[in-house]
Each structure stands twice: as C-alpha cells, then as structure tokens.
Structure 1
C-alpha cells in the first residue's frame, strides 16, 4: 500500500477537518489492499478482544461485516465522499442492543481496527508529505470516533425503546394486579413474564400522595412496580417482609406521603391497595398521625373502626346517649375520663396519672359517670362498645383540631385534643 509523494492535496476546508489535506487520488492506491487489511484487522481483533476470539457465532459474523464496511467507507471518505453510511452503523448499535449484548466488545474492536489500519498506512506512507501523514492519522481515529458515535446512538435508541416497552408492560401488570375482581394466577404469571418481573409469593400495595411534592419523584428498586401517573400514584412491592425491604422502602418514600397496605398473596394485591387508600384518606383527615411512611398493620384497629363511619356514628349515638344532654365541655371531660378508665383497668389512680389531674377530680368524674351510665359499666360487652366509640371519638376530635398545638399522650399514642 504505497503512494507517490507527488499526489496533490485538496484545498483546505475547515469543515472537512483532516480529510481536506488528504489527496483524493490516494484512495485508488489503497483500495486494492482492503481485503488484506481487513483480514489483518480481524485476526488482531480476535487475538485481543475476548468476545471475538472463537472466530464464529454472532460476534464473528458481525465483526467481518463492520470491518469491511468501515474500511470501504474510510477510503470513500478519502475519495471525497461524506460520512453517508451513518445509518448502517446506527443499525449495528441497535442490533447489539436488540440481541442483549454489551456495546463494549464492538467499541474495543473498533479501537484495535484503527490501530492496525494506521500501522499499515504509516508503514507504507514514507513517500508522502509529513502533513498528509499527520492528516491520515487524524482521519483514521476521527473515522473510528464517528462510527463509534453512530453505533452508540443506535444502541441508546434501542435500549430506550426496550425500556419504554418494558415500562408499559409493567404498568399494564400493575393495572392487572389492582383489578377487581381479582385476576387469576395464570393471567398474572403470563404478563409478569412479558414484563420481566419475577412473580413473588407476597406483595404489598402502596398508595402515594405526591401532589404537593416539590422534589423530584422518588426512586424505587427495579423490582417495584410503579405508576406515578395514575390519579392516585401506586406501587406494588414484592416480598415486602424480606430482609432489608422495610428500610429500603422507607428511604424511597422519605419525601412523600405514603401508606403501605398489608402483606397479601400476589393475587390479592387489590385488597392491599384498597386498605392502603382508606388509610391514606384517614391520614389526610388527621385521624392517623405518623412521621414518614404509614403501615396499615400498625393501625388495623383504626381501619376496622372506620370501615363504616355511619355505623360507627350510630353505635356512638346509642352508647353515648347518657352524655347527650350535657354541655360540650362536660361531654369532652367525661368521655376522656371514661376512656382512660376503660384503658387502665378501671384504676382511678392510673387514670389521674394519664390525664394529669388530681385523683379526687377523677373520682368525682367517675361518680358522675356511674350516675349517667349505671349498670352499663358493669357489662363487659357494653364496656367494649364504649371503648370503641370513645376511641373513634378521640381520633375524630384529633382530626378536627388544627390550631391548638396541644398534644397529650394516651395509651401510647400521640393525639391532639381541643382546649376546653
């Protein structure tokens, strides 16, 4: 592969870069040697890049195609043609992504090929002007960069398309899991396989409220099904009780309001979401107060109480009827005392400590309650009803208070009471 020193260089053109300093006639001196150079490049690549070392299979067939096309295109560039074969190398990148292969071996092969090509050119270009030799070297590696860039673009396009399709499949899977009536195990398994989601034995649904979130959307582990575009943003967490899962979810939800439903079999994800949404509504009303993530399992008794609030109100009207004729302030004091009495094993001294009042005050209020409720306080079933409605009343009052700022600890829970 030799050239005469008398070959004229083309006029300089800054947009052409090094190509403008390389004589176009040089292309005809190189073309006869392309097959020989291609074989040398392929041999060197198979020696130095492990993925191509076997000389067979998908890597090898693609390698020969790319090397021969790249060499032909390089010579065409010298002859004065532009880089008009970009789509070919873009398609090579797409193909590598489509086959699930990394682009690294191809990029490594391109670098080896450029080194071999430059070695052959420089060894036979001693008759050329030094400026032309320098431009040839620059052109070799510029051409490599152009091919690598085109392949990278195709690879990124294919990866983005695959990721987008996979995201759509996962959203459809999440929709299916949250469908009522509950879908069958087989239907879930088929869509899970299409979405590359390993179907777990158990899941927990998460209802999110990120309407007022100023920060970027939370990031979740790849096995969590996510759809933040729904009216109520939703998640499905696989194996939520596995090692380290709770802490991981807490970190992901640190900057947004969220409720984690109970752990259920995968076919009952909709039930977990139903309870999570109910709990989120109660939290929004202030019935439940919690820092960070709320877990349904920590508030199941509250969920039970508020499943049917009309029924709860009817029970309260029935059981608290003895207080109905009193002023609101009297009702509050006696209701608070009665609940503390029921929760403390009917011990007046403990009630006094709970309410931070004098024991004599408690005894006075208890005598009032005995006069109002009579034998109802001796019936275990009625006492159970009373505790239910008094707990609910306390939670409802706490949710209605927004300005007092007074907090009092009762039965291990922090609640907000109206000033009376």
Structure 2
C-alpha cells in the first residue's frame, strides 16, 4: 500500500481514531494475524513469568486472549469503531480474581502485546500515509486500554461478589454462634472454615445501641464478626483478652454505644450476648450510667441484682417494710443513711463524710433506724439483704425513665412491665 494509494479517511469525530482508518484495511491485516499472535505470545512469555510455561491451561488462555484481541481490533477497523467485546474481557478479569491471582500479569501482557503490534506497524510504515500510521498507533493503544479497563471491571466484580459471599458466610457463622441452644464446636469449626475465620479460644459478644449509631458504619478489625443489619446490631470479638486486644477493641468501638459481654469459650458466645443485652437494657433505662461502650465485667453485681426484678421487689417490700409508713423524703434520707452505714462498716463518722452531713445528724438518723429496724440490724444475714435492696433502690432511683410525681417506678424489661415500690 503506497501513500498515493492510501484510502480516504472517513469523518466520524465520535469514533476517532477509527474514523481515520479505512475499513478496507482490515482485509489486508487478516492474513497476518496468526503470525502476529505468535510473535506477541513469544514476547509475553519471555517477559511475564506467569505466562512463561509453554503449555497447559495458562498458555491456552493466553493464546485465546491474544487472538480474540487481534480479531476484535480488525473487526473494529472494518466497522469504523465500536467497543471491544466487553463481556469476554470482563470474564477474563473475573477468572483471574476467582483463581486468586493478581491482575498485574494480565495487564503486563496487554501492554507487551500493544508494543509488539506497534512494532509490526512501524516495520511496514514505509508505504503508509503518515496520518494513517498515527491513527493506527492511536487505535492500537486505545484498544489495549479499553481491554485492560474491561478486564479490571470484571476483576472488581468478582472481588465484590467474593467479598459479599464471604460476608454472608460470616453472618451465618455469627447467627450460628449466637443461636439457642448453643452450637457445637464441630459445627462452628466447619462454617468458620468456609468463612475463612480462624476459630479463637475465647470470644466476647457486643450488643450495640442502635439509638446512638452514626449514619456512617464503624470500621472493625477483619477478624471481628459483624452484623449491623440485625434488629439488635451485634459483634463477636475473638480473643478479647489477648495482648493489645483491649486497646484494639476500644479504638474500633470509639464511636459506638453498647455493651461488651464477658469473655467466654467459643461455644458459649450466646451466653455472652445474653448478658450484654441484659446490661444494655439496664443502661437504656438509666440503672447504670452509659458513656460510650460498657463492659459487663465492670457491672456484674448490678447485673446479678436485676436478674429477677420481681423477686428483688418482693425482698425490698419485706426488708424495707419499717420505712413504708414514712413520707417519701424521710424514706430517702433514712435509706441513704442506712446504705452508707452498711457500706462503711457501721462507722458513723465515715457515714457523715460519705453523705457530707454533720456526724450528729448521722447519729440522730441512726437512732431512728435502730427504733424502726430493731434487732434486724444485728443480724449479718439481714444486713446483707438490706444492702442488696438498698443498692437496687439507689440504682432504680437514678433511672431517668421514672415517672414524675408517682409513688412507684415502672420499668420495662423484655416487654414486661414490673413495679418496684419506693419505701
């Protein structure tokens, strides 16, 4: 083909550089595609280690890619433009991802193939119009870039699908570990292997407070099982007491509100979550102060106190009956003094310091209490029960959910309303 015999350029500004390459040129290129493919494959195998094997599936795939890319290139010349076969090259990218390989070798092979094609054009440039040479060079590298883009899209699609499937497996694993009755160790190990989750010795469940969640989901370490889509968002932290794990957990939960359950063996994760949710209810009621994330281990005595609030109310009614006939303000003062006296080893001076009142005032109140309770204050078992109900009373009074102007405090626990009478 001489410069004088070159084909006229077609004006298609939306398909440049294809508009500047005559479609008839495709017929001249077709006979040379096999030799060009061979040259590209030799060059790629010599430079890209992953393709250096002379036979096998990798070599077959390489030839398929090269030949498809070349035939698509000539088809685009004949059609004056149009994209390459997106689905084919996306499938190549998905295949690389599914095999766990990097996309780098494929991208390198594409670049080398483009350079070989340009080298072949340069070798035959002596009888071509310079404008046609420029258009061909641009078309080669545009075609190469588009193929690389489609392969990368397929690669990302496969990675996203794999990540989504892994997340689903991990959510199923979390469901299994939090189920009742507890799952066995073998069932957990099988699903953990499918979810690529290394089974730890111990775990701690976390119940998040959805009322205080930011619109931006928090980021957690990759080994933490997470399901924020639950009615009660839940986490499971592996080996929470390991070196540095407490600080890691604190950083991960810095922007969250919720409760970390106690550390338990893997097969008892449901128990850790149950206690975390019970503590979360107490925090939501105001029984304990909630600032950020709460650890169950710091409030176990409170959790024990409120395990059976009906029984707790009955014990309070029995043990605090001597105060029942007094005004609410008198009940509050005497109950506060009695609790401080029990907690301070029955030392009046220490009670005065705890309550910030004069020792004489404390002694006056203690005489009232002796008259009301009599010998009950001498019995260590009764004193223990008194301290239990007085501690619970103080925690109940601190709850912001208490109705104003009522002699009773109503609390909702697990859908049931209980009554705790003030004395």
Q: Which shifted more, 325-334 or 21-30?
A: 21-30
Alignment gaps of 5+ in structure 1? 405-420
Aligned to 1:237: 237
Distance apart, 1:246 and its partner CA: 1.9
Q: Which shifted more, 176-185 or 209-218?
A: 209-218
2:318 is the alignment partner of 1:328: no
Distance apart, 1:204 and its partner CA: 0.9
Distance apart, 1:127 and its partner CA: 1.9
Aligned to 2:346: 346
Check whether the contact 1:205–1:261 (CA below 8 A) recurs between aligned residues.
yes
Distance apart, 1:403 and its partner CA: 12
What SS does structure 1 have at the residue aligned with 2:6? Answer: coil
2:383 is the alignment partner of 1:395: no
Aligned to 2:417: none
CA 1:401–1:226 in structure 2 vs 1: closer, same or farther (change >3 Å)?
closer
Distance apart, 1:55 and its partner CA: 4.0
What SS does structure 1 have at the residue aligned with 2:16? Answer: helix
- TM-score of the aligned structures, taking structure 2 as reference length: 0.90
Q: Which shifted more, 22-31 or 395-404?
A: 395-404
Aligned to 2:2: 4
Q: Deviations 1:385-420 (Å, cap 9, x if unpaired)? A: 11111111100000147899xxxxxxxxxxxxxxxx
Check whether the contact 1:210–1:256 (CA below 8 A) recurs between aligned residues.
no
Q: Deviations 1:158-191 (Å, cap 9, x if unpaired)? A: 2222222222111111111111111111111111
Aligned length: 402
Distance apart, 1:258 and its partner CA: 0.9
2:22 is the alignment partner of 1:35: no
* 1:162-241 paired onto structure 2 within 5 Å: 162-241=162-241
Question: 1:291 and 1:221 mapped to 2: Cα distance?
Answer: 22
Q: Which shifted more, 57-66 or 308-317?
A: 57-66
Aligned to 2:71: 72
2:60 is the alignment partner of 1:61: yes
Distance apart, 1:323 and its partner CA: 1.1
Aligned to 1:13: 12
- TM-score of the aligned structures, taking structure 1 as reference length: 0.91
Distance apart, 1:79 and its partner CA: 2.1
What SS does structure 2 have at the residue aligned with 1:20? Answer: helix
Aligned to 2:415: none
Aligned to 2:94: 94
Distance apart, 1:212 and its partner CA: 4.5
Q: Deviations 1:285-338 (Å, cap 9, x if unpaired)? A: 001113211011110000000000000111111111111111111111111111
* 1:98-137 paired onto structure 2 within 5 Å: 98-137=98-137
Q: Deviations 1:168-224 (Å, cap 9, x if unpaired)? A: 111111111111111111111111111111111211111112244343111111111
Q: Deviations 1:55-88 (Å, cap 9, x if unpaired)? A: 4555433222211211121122222263352211
Question: 1:267 and 1:130 mapped to 2: Cα distance?
Answer: 75
Q: Deviations 1:122-154 (Å, cap 9, x if unpaired)? A: 221122122111111110111011111111121
CA 1:116–1:84 in structure 2 vs 1: closer, same or farther (change >3 Å)?
closer
Q: Which shifted more, 313-322 or 61-70?
A: 61-70
What SS does structure 2 have at the residue aligned with 1:236? Answer: strand
What SS does structure 2 have at the residue aligned with 1:399? Answer: coil
Q: Deviations 1:212-268 (Å, cap 9, x if unpaired)? A: 434311111111111111111111111111222222222222223211111111111
Q: Deviations 1:366-389 (Å, cap 9, x if unpaired)? A: 111122112222222111111111
RMSD: 1.9
Question: 1:337 and 1:62 mapped to 2: Cα distance?
Answer: 85
* 1:245-324 paired onto structure 2 within 5 Å: 245-324=245-324
Question: 2:56 and 2:297 mapped to 1: Cα distance?
Answer: 55
